[in-house]
Amino acid sequence: MTFDGTVFKYLPKKKIAANNRNTHMIEFAAAKDVTIKKCKFYNNKNCRPNNEAIQIESIRNERKLLETSPDDFGKRDGTQCKNVTIKDCYFRGFNYGCGSNHLSKKDHFSNMKFIRNTFVGAKKYAICIFGYRNVLISGNKLLKSGRLYLNQGSKGVKAK
């Protein structure tokens, strides 16, 4: 699957209720060979404070997802994401630009690449990698943002 040059906007006029957790622009699980390139992601202050533009999810039986049931993502057989590339994208106004927000001993996303992206106003971390294997983070820019990446239990991380 490839997203190339797509513009995503999540700009609600009123503040989103605290119980509304639907603030991911792209969310995928058990995906292989995904490329997101030259895309733009826009958000504003009216969104829930724990949002991500691109959520990379696991698909485990023991993982209970907020507001989703096992049927939402298909069979929960332990399939992990691999060969995901996010490059030359622009993110504005997110707490987290892209990645995951949980760690499982059985989830090991592999061959993940975050290359030449620009993050504006990433309040916490631009990229979150939890339990990843073989990761490249290269050439990314931060403007008015927190930290470039958060690593929880990942191995083989090359950050330049």
Confidence (pTM): 0.86
Q: What is the pLDDT of residue 109?
A: 87
Residue 70: pLDDT band with limits 50, 70, 90: very low
Average pLDDT, the chain: 83
The answer for residues whose C-beta is within 8 angstroms of residue 71's C-beta and 6 or more apart is none
Q: Do 96 and 124 touch, CB atoms closer than 8 A?
A: yes
> How many other CB atoms are there within 10 angstroms of residue 77's CB atom?
9
Residue pLDDT, tens place only, 126-159: 999 988 999 999 999 999 999 999 999 899 999 9
Measured CA to CA, the distance from residue 115 to residue 110 in angstroms comes to 15
Structure tokens at 4: 């190339």
Residue 120: pLDDT band with limits 50, 70, 90: very high
Q: What SS3 class is residue 70?
A: helix
Segment 31-38 shows an average pLDDT of 96
Segment 56-82 shows an average pLDDT of 60
Report which of 134, 136, 124, 132 is spatially closest to residue 153, judged by C-alpha positions: 132
Domain boundary assignment for the chain: 2-159
